[in-house]
Structure formats: C-alpha cells, structure tokens
Amino acid sequence: MGGIDRFLVVGIAASLGAIGFLLLRRSPRLALVAWLTVLALVPYWIGVNVVTYLPATSLVAALAAAALYSSRSSRVGLVDVLLLTIVALYVVSFLIDEATLGAGFTLVVHWAAGYLLGRVIGTSVDLEWIHGAVAVAMTAAAVLALEEFLTGQNLLALLKMDNSAYTIWGDVQIRGGLARSEGAFGHSIALGASLAMALPLAIASTFRPWIRGAMVVTILAATVVTFSRTGMICAVFSLVLCVFFLRGYLTLRARVALVVGSLAVAAVAVPFLLATFAEAGDEATDSSSYRGDLLSLIPTMSILGEAESAYRTPTGDTLYGSFHSIDSALILLGLTLGLVPLAIVVTLLVAAIGFVVSGRATASTIAVVGQIPALATVALITQYSTFFWFIAGLAVVSQSRAATRASRADASREAVPGLVAPAPVDSAAGGTDHSGAPGPAWPGRRPSTVSARYEEKAPPWRNATTWC
C-alpha cells in the first residue's frame, strides 16, 4: 500500500506540475507573480525531499524558467559563459572526488534556478513591470515583518512542517530581548538582505512618487526590525548608490526627498537600535569577531574543489577547520568550489562595480552591488540565495538592453548630425524605454513620470562592450 500511495502522490505532483507549466507558459507575468508570491509569503521550510531538500521557491523558479524558455532567452553572453564555466569546473572537481554532491545541489537548486528565471523573465516581461512586481512583493514581506515585530507573532511560522528545514529555520531569533523579524525567510539576516536588495527596484518602478516613497520607507522600517546589521548596511549602501548613480528614474527633487526620508527613518531608528544592541551585550560583538576569524580559512582553499581544511564529523556534518558554519558567501564559495570559481565571481562583482561608478548601471546591477557587504559577511541561505541570483540574472539582461539602446541612439546621432534620437522601445519585450514611452501598465498605473528632460546626458563610454 505504501508503494501505491507514493505512486499516487508522484502522479498527482506530476499532473499539477504539467498544469502549472502550461499556465505559466501562457503568461510570463503570471509566472513572475507566482514566484514572487512564493518568495515573499511561503516559508522556506515548505518544500519536498527528493534526493535533497527542494524548497517551494526553487521548485517554482525552475518550473517558471522552463516554461518561459525561448530562443531569445537562450542567447549566451559573457556572463553566462563564465557562470557555466563554474558549473563545468564543479563537474570536473566532482569527478576527481574533490567536490561534494551537496555543493552541486546548491549550484543547481538555489543558484541556477534563480539565475535562469531572472534571465528568461527579463527577456519576456518589461523591465519596469518587473521592478514594480518585485517592489509590491517585497513591500508585502516588509508589512508582514512589521506585523511580526508589533504583535510578537510570525503568522507564517504557524505553517509548520515535519522536516529538518523547519527544525533549522523555524525558531525565532532574539537580540537584546526582542524577537527579530524573519517573515517567510527563516532567518532575520536573509530577510534584511532581501529587503535591501528590493530597494533599487522599488525606486526604479513606475508607480507614483508618493507610492514609491511609501514603499521605500516601509522596506527600510522592516529592515530595522530584523536587527540585522548586515541588512541595514546593505539598505543604506543601496540607497546611497541609487541617489548618486541611478540614472533616468529620479529627479533632483526625488533624490532630495529620498535622502530626507531616509534620514527621518534613521532619526527614529538609531536610538532604538543602539539601546537594543547595548542590551544584547557581547552577542553582537562576538558574531562580528567570528566573521573576522573566517579569513584564516582562505589559505586552505584549493585551486579547484573543496578546501584542505574540510572535515567530516561522524554525524555527517562538514566542518572547515574549527568552524561549524561559514558566515560569508564568498569564503564559503572558495571553500566548497575552489579559488578559480571564487575568482570568477569576484571578477563579475568588480565589473558590476565598474558599471555603477561609470553611471551605466541599471537598478538590478545596483541591487547586486549593494549586496557586497552581505556577500562578505553572510552565507546565501534560504530563499535569499535564489532571490540574489534572480536579481543577478535580471541585471545581465537589463545591462544588455541598456547597451543596445545606447548603441542605437549613437548610430542615430551619427546618421543625422546634431539630432539626438530618443531611446528606442524594446518591442521584443513589449516594454518601454526609460524615457517615458508608453508600455504595459499596472492597473491604475500612471504613465512613467520619467521624461527626457530629466535624463542626464549619456557619457561617451555608454557604447562600451557590455558584460552580457
């Protein structure tokens, strides 16, 4: 009977998967909304065990990416080649018994699923619509985080599962005697970093200015109640990058309002945070010292594969030196996959920084760069990992489109001397350019308030080779 029951469950799951595949394929926007809903509102411990644990976030991401895959999204660029190189290097390391199966599952289940979804969604849906969808979803997550802080009850934690994921991530963290908001992310740092990552996209959305302002304030407030220093640092860093480097979405008045609003939130939050961290005592200081001690593991990294410091306990846990956990995504990458994959990722981050400081970065690229403090001090845990790689995939697509628009505009100016041509609409995605051209609208959405008179003059190096 047990075999029959399992066969029935597999059959039902396959049927639901096929129906979901067909529905998502018919509507890319529905696919995006479905995944964002799972990301923001479905706890990480909701998932299934098939060889390894598969969270709902990764399952829906993989299903949506497969459903929306097309010839346009299959075009391979430089970033794709470099990331595929990491996968190939892992396969080589695994075949020579220098890498673990768990590292491969992390590559596929958490990283590849998110990145592929960002790539295919970016070629199927207007970028401004994507910005708005992410902003709405993460604002909803922020509201739940604030509710959790005010009431002391995480409503999503009531959705219990009898699995190891719930055992690990279902407990509420405490700092200074106060519960830290976690929402569906299972960890306060994962929630804080994810909220910070959504800020540039909320600012770049085409909602009315007061709505965008309300979203930013709500997300900032929710970041505060996670009591995550990493999340708050990433949020501030992302806002500063937007104020100084995000072109085409903010007027001077909007930039001033963004700064004033952020300072107002800080004026309320800082005394409260100082009191909380003082109450926490050495707990916060010890965690910082622990992260600093992780640097001692760098010399043990191998060129390819797992580090020499790796050790398996009799219970099957993996330790690196004397460290039970590695609170740094970059260091953990080097320890599990090797120095060469780590060097590739660091090179891509440096390239992203170059796009930001040169004024060519899109909102998604700024969101990725804004996460560098988190990548140095936090592992890619729960659905934060999938969300980060989704934004990375979106950044690749958006930078490619920005370079294409710049090249076409330069060609138009060269064809007719003295004529400044408007940026062409990306008709393949059915979307807008970033100068106010009409495009798919949210219900009740006003046309984009961004107009040509607010666009900074394009620098001469805008037509440089793109990173996609």
C-alpha closest to that of 307 among 336, 327, 346, 344: 336
- What pLDDT is stored for residue 179 in this prediction? 85
- Give yes or no for residue 67 having a pLDDT over 70: yes
Amino acid present at 269: A
| Cα 468 from Cα 457, distance rounded (Å) | 23
Give the pLDDT band (50/70/90) at residue 9: low
Whether 461 is covered by a domain: the verdict is no
For 291-306, write each residue's pLDDT tens digit.
Answer: 778 888 999 999 999 9
- What pLDDT is stored for residue 299 in this prediction? 92
- What pLDDT is stored for residue 452 in this prediction? 37
Whether 215 is covered by a domain: the verdict is yes
Whether 314 is covered by a domain: the verdict is no
Average pLDDT rounded to a whole number, residues 175-189: 89
Number of helices and strands in the chain (H, E): 18, 6
- What pLDDT is stored for residue 21 in this prediction? 65
Q: Which two tokens stand for residue 293?
A: 């001690």
Whether 452 is covered by a domain: the verdict is no
Work out how many domains the chain is built from and give that number: 1
Helix, strand, coil percentages, rounded to 5, for the chain: 65, 5, 30
- State which H helix or E strand residue 37 sits in: helix 28-41
Give the pLDDT band (50/70/90) at residue 17: low
Average pLDDT rounded to a whole number, residues 78-101: 92
For 159-175, write each residue's pLDDT tens digit.
Answer: 888 888 888 898 888 88
Which of 210-224, 254-268, 273-287, 360-374 is predicted with the least confidence, judged by mean pLDDT? 273-287
**Helix extents (H) in 158-251:** 164-169, 188-203, 209-224, 229-245
Q: Which two tokens stand for residue 128?
A: 């401004």
Residue-averaged pLDDT of the chain: 82
For 121-174, write each residue's pLDDT tens digit.
Answer: 988 889 999 999 999 999 999 999 999 999 888 888 888 888 888 888 988 888
Question: Looking up tokens 């600012």, which residue turns up?
Answer: 203
| Cα 181 from Cα 160, distance rounded (Å) | 17
Percentage of the chain beyond pLDDT 90 is 47
Tell me how far the alpha carbon of residue 46 is from its chain's centroid.
20
For 392-451, write each residue's pLDDT tens digit.
Answer: 999 999 998 888 877 777 777 666 555 444 444 443 344 444 433 333 344 444 444 443
Looking at per-residue confidence, does 451 or 21 come out higher? 21
Whether 134 is covered by a domain: the verdict is yes
Provide the domain limits for residue 395. 2-281+329-405
Whether 235 is covered by a domain: the verdict is yes
- What pLDDT is stored for residue 342 in this prediction? 96
Average pLDDT rounded to a whole number, residues 378-399: 94
Whether 418 is covered by a domain: the verdict is no
Average pLDDT rounded to a whole number, residues 204-224: 93
Whether 364 is covered by a domain: the verdict is yes
Beta carbons of 184 and 157 less than 8 angstroms apart:
no
